[in-house]
A and B are shown apart, each in its own frame.
Chain A
Amino acid sequence: MLAPWSEAELADLIRGAEAPLVVQGGGTRPVGRPVDGTRLSTENITGISLYEPGALTLVARAGTPLAEIEETLAAENQVLAFEPPDLRAVLGTEGTPTIGGVVATNASGPRRIAASGACRDALLGVRFVDGTGTVAKNGGRVMKNVTGYDLVKLFCGSWGTLGVLTEVSLKVAPKLSSATIAIRGAEGADALSAMTDAVTSPFDISGAAYVPGEAVYLRIEGLEASITYRAGRLQSQLAGFGSVEITDDREASAAIWQRLRDVRDFADDSYALWRVSMRPSAMFDALIAGATELAPLDYRLDWSAGLAWLRLTEAEARTIANARVPGDSTAATGAAILHQKLQDITAAAGGHATLFKAPEALRRSVPSFQPEAPGIAALSQGLRAKFDPRNLLNPGLML
């Protein structure tokens, strides 16, 4: 594995490269089409280069462990508002998540639905080495910046296919007290209605998730008196949906959201896992209805039903294969059928389905990322050809 110690060394290495490179941070998110090549990690390009709590700004080199950043922020009672998921348990990976990896995958937790948004919304600037070995920066470390094109957003979530990030600059946020409201008894469409009611109330919801058969969870954050007030208002507003209970213990509340953020429930026993992003109103009618026609899948909803995680067990995968392809009961066949169905649904209803975890053979045979419409695909391909003309950086990963 190649693990250069500086941006300059990395640039030399890319300029001299002749074969594909598997670009990664800590390698904890092996998503997409597997790339055959030499592993290139930013894990040695580390360190927080600037932290100004009073300006809510932090700049760190790409290989800096996420944990180090979170500890540094915690000392000033601050956090990354987009609460990046740690997917090691659910994806069955080891290693150290890095801030560069978080940014390259736009890893964004439950707070996506609040004003603070996703990782891409907190990202103020990037430095990177592109596929020609050129070092460049874009954006900066200030909150408002419209100087030139916004390549910051373009690089966020580009999975190392446009360039290798070397430094990122982030807007951070104060750590707030939180409380969690659990509504029990609201299932299916009722769960959607409960979440919708909450996020369209004036009470500033910063998390809305659904665990089928368990509860709808809502998070409120802020100053203490404000939490008490909003929790009370929501409790009476939502009473019609089921039993409403409030967890105002800070740690207990945080634990619930960490479990949901990291999709912990599916850490065991998953053959394949999908992440689906859709309009909330289409989530049940189109996606869940369509997917569960094939098998009684378990799922979790986040982002007020704008995000779904669907889990397929090996037994369910075989059942699908058996029912659909006479004489073929392999799990891979069943998973491929479901995969196609999910991407068809999102193509028709808007949104996208990504195969987040599956045996490597399956990831080689289907497009993990939702295929794009021809006009969009041409632009994406055009951009990759400009930034990585020699096709060196995670080639094909997003295709």
Chain B
Amino acid sequence: MEMPTPEPRVLSRKPSIVARLRSVLPSDAVIDDPTATRAYECDALTAYRCPPLAAVLPASTDEVAAVLRICHEEGVPVVPRGAGTSLAGGALPTADCVILGLMRMTEVLEVDLSDRLIRVQAGRTNLSVSGAVEADEFFYAPDPSSQLACAIGGNIAMNSGGAHCLKYGVTTNNLLGVKMVTMTGEILEIGGGHLDAAGLDLLGVICGSEGQLGLVTEATLRILRKPEGARPVLIGYDSNEVAGACVSDIIKAGILPVAIEFMDRPCIRACEAFAGAGYPDCEALLIIEVEGSEAEIDEQLGLILQIARRHNPVELREAGSEDEAKRIWLGRKSAFGAMGQINDYMCLDGTIPVSSLPTVLRRIGELSDEYGLDVANVFHAGDGNMHPLILFDANTPGQLETCEALGAEILKLCVEVGGCLTGEHGVGIEKRDLMEVQFSAEELETQMRVKDVFDPQWLLNPAKVFPLATSAARRAAGRDAAA
């Protein structure tokens, strides 16, 4: 993966840049020792690594602003980092950048159950946001798989989703406001406790901008009262088409489950071998979860099962107890771990119109044969967000490249049928060079204009999202302005 050549002017000034950073932060919050900066050399896209010039760990918005003012004056690129769980390389450094890590900013600043909101520092983990209101029977809805580790700041940067967003939406639908520091060190309050924007919806474009528009230091998030209960059901089919038709019929019938997860045979087998959840050996498996009181759950599941039976399932299992519910989710939740045990894998994230599901799965099977690498599919079927896992061996020369080529083909297929390259992981560096498959040059231009307004010198996470050649002129102009 190509990255921009580090700026010699910045590399040669490292000692004075680090000294300036030390003048505004506690000394243990500036990391420049080459062995220590290696901790920040990659995120969860571990195939690509590069230690940064330095890493800083500010503890307040004011400290973030001080760091950004210095980096702006020095012309140093800044790469924001939440918890480093990006699967797309969103927090991958360059050798001339400062990593700005949020892990010391984890405070809960305000909880207001009546107004149904919580305000937290952006380094707080997703799960601990829910944790802060759990005793009051409230929760924060977006639930990315990495929720134990990932930071809210990263969730906002990537507009993260999760299994339950079919009902509750993704990060952007649950974000009410941010405190954000611009690259020049200006502190802005955008949104707040109210439900819509006063003027242009800047919050809407900041969410999902991959840390390229500003550093979010605080977030006001919508919290919701927990439903009385939830129960999953497991349904097995002997073909992907039939499983897809079942999903479509459930949605058409007016039932909106909180989650509809889909696994194909390679994935079912791997999960079964790993977790022993007792899944049937079939072509396609659906896990559907509904919420409410016992009676409400019975009513919804009754309808779902009625529809499911019309499609002749090979297996139909309703959780009769908390323990059975856990077993139904066990295999699905350990899917990535199961794959990791068999092989190295690359996890894709394209979204497709639900109606294209059977076609896309068939075509992925053909591509898998063509490239000689196995692909297992696990995904959020209700909203068409696919997660094909391509299995490969990183130690076999050439396999990573073959895997990436197959991944690119699958993502192009997603775009071709009316979908997109990434549903919840973000573009980062991983899908950066595929952006032209989905967008015309003019369309990329309209997006880059937004960055021009927020960060005219292109210093914030500059080598991400847009193909390097497309952003080259802007990055060069910013560099010249800084010099």
Contact = CB atoms under 8 A, between A and B. Distances in A.
Contact of A146 (B159, B205, B444): B159
A57 B353 contact: yes
A383 B351 contact: no
A379 B342 CA distance: 49
B442 interface: yes
B353 A52 contact: yes
A149 B209 contact: yes
A106 B117 CA distance: 22
B269 interface: no
Nearest to B196: A277
A140 B224 CA distance: 28
A144 B189 contact: no
Interface string A251-262: 000000000000
B199 A372 contact: yes
Contact of A157 (B115, B196, B382): B196
A350 interface: yes
Interface string B200-220: 111111011100000000000
B426 A146 contact: yes
Contacts of B303: 223
A interface residue count range (under 10 / 10 to 19 / 20 to 34 / 35 or more): 35 or more
Interface residues of B, number: 101
Nearest to A119: B196
Contacts of B445: 134
A384 B84 CA distance: 34
A15 interface: no
B450 A383 contact: yes
Interface stretch (A38-46, A171-179, A234-242): A171-179
Contact of B295 (A176, A199, A225): A225
A145 B446 CA distance: 17
Nearest to A304: B116
A397 to B, nearest CB: 11
Contacts of B138: 200
A106 B454 CA distance: 23
Contacts of A130: 446
B447 A148 contact: yes
B251 A115 contact: no
A120 B205 CA distance: 12
Given A223-B299, A398-B199, A202 B137 contact: yes
A175 B204 CA distance: 27
A121 B172 CA distance: 8
B383 interface: yes
Interface stretch (B37-45, B272-280, B397-405, B415-423): B415-423
Contacts of A199: 116, 225
Given A174-B254, A277-B194, 12 more contacts: A112-B195, A130-B446, A136-B442, A146-B424, A148-B438, A154-B200, A157-B197, A161-B200, A226-B300, A351-B194, A376-B202, A383-B449
